[in-house]
Structure 1
Amino acid sequence: MSDQPVTPVPPFRPVFEPPYYAVVFTSLMADVENRDGDGDGSGYDETGARMDELVASVPGFLGMDSARTPGGLGITVGYFRDEDAIKEWRGDAEHRTAQRRGRAEWYEKYVVHVAKVERSYGFERG
């Protein structure tokens, strides 16, 4: 038996009916040791949970997938029915405040890609 901790695999999103949009947020933590999960009270995890609540209330938000490596590289993909939903999320006042805080405190760098999904399919072992 391995001494490595077992990380639960998050659920996959269903295959959505195209077209829809994917917003890909790729980030690198500025200081991976300086996070709520490590007990410092930076507010990162709390803010992330609040952003999850807020984005779920946006009409046209379909869901998201997210993963982070132990080294601080993170990828979150948000799925939206249309560009209006993305604009609403981008313009949310609490989201904009969290973005500013992310640039000031939590992220070394990040990049956002917005893509229109024309085709979507999947596989699941029975």
Structure 2
Amino acid sequence: MSDHSEAPVAPVEAHEPPYYMAVFTAVRTQDQSGYSETDARLEDLVKDVPGYLGTDYAQSPGGLAITVAYFRDAEALAQWRCNAEHRSAQKRGQAEWYQSYTLHVAKVERSHGFTRAHVPPSPTAG
């Protein structure tokens, strides 16, 4: 997906299993005309899917982009998969934006998270 540079740097929170995740890994082509606009539109659309839990994004220095979308159940994932605008973007991606990609769908059976507590600096630290 896009650079997501404005997104907060935090993973999607752990949810109570079971739930589903779709892992999309891609290498993009040089011509990305229209990609950012389509990506932004899809980000807005997926938020309207009942059961959508969030999305994590990462990109390697070598250009591998990874998008992991989480859904409460298989029905929510199927609703997203069948969304007409999403399907249209998939076709355009194959035709223009992606050199290669893979999609993995998995049922999450275990999930937990950690967030370091913020510790204010000591007033005597100098």
TM-score, shorter chain, exceeding 0.5: yes
Provide, for residues 4-30 of structure 1, a one-character-per-residue CA deviation record: whole Å limited to 9, x for no partner.
xxx786221111111100110011112
Is 1:96 aligned with 2:95? no
CA distance in 1, matches of 2:38, 2:10: 21
User: Moved runs in structure 1, 4+ residues, more than 3 A?
Assistant: none
Question: CA offsets, 1:74-115, max 9 Å, x none?
Answer: 000000001101111011000000000000000011111010
Q: How does 1:76-115 map to 2 (within 5 A)?
A: 76-115=67-106
Corresponding residue of 2:14: 15
Aligned residues: 112
CA RMSD after TM alignment: 1.5
Work out whether 1:122 is the aligned partner of 2:121.
no
Deviation at 1:45, TM superposition (A): 0.7
TM-score (norm 1): 0.83
Gaps of 5+ in 1: 1-6, 36-41
Q: TM-score, normalised by structure 2?
A: 0.83
Question: Per the alignment, do residues 21 and 110 of structure 1 end up closer, same or farther by CA in structure 2, a change over 3 Å counting?
Answer: same
Q: Which residue of 1 aligns with 2:27?
A: 28
Unpaired runs of at least 5, structure 2: 118-126
